[in-house]
Each structure stands twice: as C-alpha cells, then as structure tokens.
Amino acid sequence: MRKELESAFNVRRFLLPKNNHWLKRTVLVFAFVLFDYFSTLVFCHAPHEEANLFARAFMENFGVSFGLTLFVVMMNLPIYITLSLDSHVVKLPLKATIVAEFIVDLAFAWFIAGSHFNGGASWFWYESGFVRQISGAVLYLGLAFPLLKPHKQQDC
C-alpha cells in the first residue's frame, strides 16, 4: 500500500516542473500560447473567423470559448508534459546541455512561439504570416537567451 502511495506522489511530482531553467522555459513557451489563446478569445466572435481548421472544428462543436479552451489544452498538453518531465529527468553534461538546449530553444522559437505569435497577432497585425512568425521566433529567442542561461547554472 505504501509503495502505491509513494508512486502516486511521484507521478504528481512529475506533473509540475522542477524549479530550474526548464520551469522558466515552460513559462516562456506558454506565454506565447496564452497570447494566441487570449487574442483569439477576444477577437474571434464566430468559428468561421478562425483560420486553424482544427480549432475551428472544436469551436463549431463546443462553442467559441469552450471549444477554443479545449483545443488549446489538448494540443499543448504534450508540450507541457514533455517540459515537465524534462525538468526532472534530463541531466546532461555541461557541453551537451549547451548544445541541446540551444537546439531546443531554436525549435521552440519557430514551431511554438513563432506559430502562436503568428496566430495571435494575425487578429490585429496585417502583415504576412511569415513575417509574424519570424517576429515571434526572434522575440522568443530574445527573451530565452538572457532568461534561461543553462550554461551558467550548476544544477543542469
């Protein structure tokens, strides 16, 4: 019985990011996700206004607010779980950490921050999607490199 209880607590522990640079990265990534979520929630009044076909389907089936919320939670839960697990599990040597996290930040900058910034800013910034995505990626990198600095931390 005690082992079952301990394993339940361990699972719960892995669901919350450890307070290190991975927690900071999680907060930064989800700031871009929340920017997209809230701007869509404010500016989208009908499902047909949403460009993302999957989000639109959720909005048509469950209503704009609940459908968008459900879509955002379902689509971003794997990212959150991965970041949370990485905060507890990944312990690389210093040189490997610098290279790996640089690559992780580049991927997050383009695929998560850039795409969510593009989606969120598309409601009010009438520029091409490519320019908005590059702007979001540059903004993410501009915030990530000074804030995260895993190469200067000893608990990597």
Q: SS3 string of 95-132?
A: HHHHHHHHHHHHHHHHHHHHHHHHHHHCCCCCCCHHHH
For range 120-138, the mean pLDDT? 94
Tell me what pLDDT residue 10 has.
62
Q: How far is CA 79 from CA 50, 62, 73, 83, 156, in A?
A: 22, 23, 10, 6, 20
Contact, 117 vs 135, CB < 8 A? Answer: yes
| Percent of the chain surpassing pLDDT 70 | 78
Q: For 36-95, what is each residue's pLDDT tens digit? A: 999 999 999 999 999 999 999 999 999 999 999 999 999 999 888 877 776 666 676 777
